Amino acid sequence: MFKPANAVQIKVSIDEIQPQVWRRLVLPIDWNLQHLHLGIQAAFNWWNYHLYEFRIGGLRYGDIEVLTEDATDDDPRVFDQTEVRLLDFEEGSVFSYNYDFGDGWRHTVAVEEFLTLAPSPKQGSCIAGERARPPEDVGGVSGYERFLEIIADKEDPEYTETIRWCGGYFDPEWLDLAVVDKDLRNALRSSNGACTNQNPNPCPRNELDEVQDRRLEGI
């Protein structure tokens, strides 16, 4: 007897970082893009305090009220993220999720497989992945590359300040799948999507701005 799919397996990876930072997620098929946003935030332990959007087939989806204020002539229209559900995609579909328009973290979302699970999933789960995501507000791909250079060299003049900014320790290879999975399962329970189990980058934004300003002055 045919049983319709009730879940979808996707792979989400952060663009332009090597080795790749990625997560493989199994999500309820009736999740919409707003749910997916919260799921990605939880899976990567992003803080969910920057703007975001989805780019699908050349169209822009997100929070209409927020993104319309940010619209430009190049992006004049925003479509409602709650009107697109994961069941609307096909296996092999690929689209983008962009978080933090300043740092510009673009994620590639690949729809890998539709699944029929028993019982039907009520929450998302993370079944695989590699590496920690970059610290929030590190300055995008180039800022992250410089950050890694600094923390790998204790003789770097910016080492002490930078290591303090990131909480005293950062391991780009870190991933505790059980912890990530726990955060993803709780993703929709928080109004802001913030995680509670993974170790965040604790740097206040004003401290980072000062560090970045000094870096720019040295260029």
- pLDDT of the residue at 3: 85
- pLDDT of the residue at 203: 41
| Alpha-carbon gap, residue 63 to 119, rounded angstroms | 31
C-alpha distances in angstroms, 21 versus 84, 110, 159? 26, 14, 24
Dihedrals phi, psi of 107, to nearest 5 degrees: -115, 135
- pLDDT of the residue at 163: 95
CATH fold for the domain made of 7-217: 3.10.290
Asked if 75 and 60 touch (Cβ cutoff 8 Å), the reply is yes
pLDDT of the chain along its 219 residues, tens only? 678 999 999 999 999 999 999 999 999 999 999 999 999 999 999 999 999 999 999 899 999 999 987 666 666 689 999 999 999 999 999 999 999 999 999 999 999 999 999 999 999 999 999 999 999 999 999 999 999 999 999 999 999 999 999 999 999 999 999 999 999 999 998 655 454 556 555 343 344 444 444 444 443
